[in-house]
Copies of this chain bind each other. A is one copy, B any other.
């Protein structure tokens, strides 16, 4: 048996999410079917992060155990061939120790949230960004984001169905970058890093920061929402389509 660490990219649009479910196609099931197609083995592919319906990944990590002896250099290519036409790509597949666990060995996770601010809807990147048809103030967004850095009880940003043992998390980074998109359009990228996140935490933080970017809320309002420890005190959940799991650190 060889355990493989897989680095994965996927377009989350057609999937019910990472996790195998009865109500539609999942990334996990597509990968498990590709492994079966490749080596005839029924396996469980363990992911580092259970991305939700419609959430994308450019650096998801998973592990899978394969009994069959195969040439290491062929694994990624073979899985990609079996994954077609699903929009999932195995960027790398490397053998790891048997005690490596994609989820439990992870030391950190990084997400990117993309907002396209302009009056016109996205055409090329439909389903790949959150379209906000008004300008958001990047400096205000950063000032609001700074209030969330560090170790806090993030109950106000936690989905009701979240299964984490504790609402305390340490947010290591919440950085705003901007890209000029021409014709008055601005893309706002929100880069988030933590050891782990609560369910919907990034999307709930983004939905809250949008209020600050619009000028409806001040940075102090973000602190008040955080300290309320009440989901109703923070802003709405930003849509899945702007969110990317970009990296898992071990």
* Chain A residues engaging chain B, CB cutoff 8 angstroms: 7, 9-11, 56, 58-59, 76-77, 80, 87-92, 118-124, 126, 128, 181-185, 244, 246-247
Across the two chains, which residue of chain B brings its CB closest to A79? B120
Closest to A247 in B: B182
A59 touches B11 (CB 8 A): no
Nearest residue in B to A124 (C-beta to C-beta)?
B11
A121, B77: Cα distance in complex, Å: 9
Q: Which residue of B lies closest to A73 (CB)?
A: B119
7 nearest A-B residue pairs (beta carbon): A91-B183, A89-B120, A89-B123, A9-B123, A87-B123, A7-B183, A11-B124
| Contact yes or no, B120 A128, CB < 8 A | no
For the complex formed, measure the closest distance between the CB of A61 and the CB atoms of chain B, giving whole angstroms: 10
What is the chain B residue whose CB lies nearest that of A90?
A: B120
| In contact, B90 and A182 (Cβ under 8 angstroms) | no
- CB pairs A–B below 8 angstroms (11 shown): A7-B182, A11-B123, A58-B124, A59-B183, A76-B120, A80-B120, A87-B126, A89-B121, A91-B182, A91-B183, A124-B128
Q: Measured between C-beta atoms, what is the minimum distance from A64 to chain B in Å?
A: 16
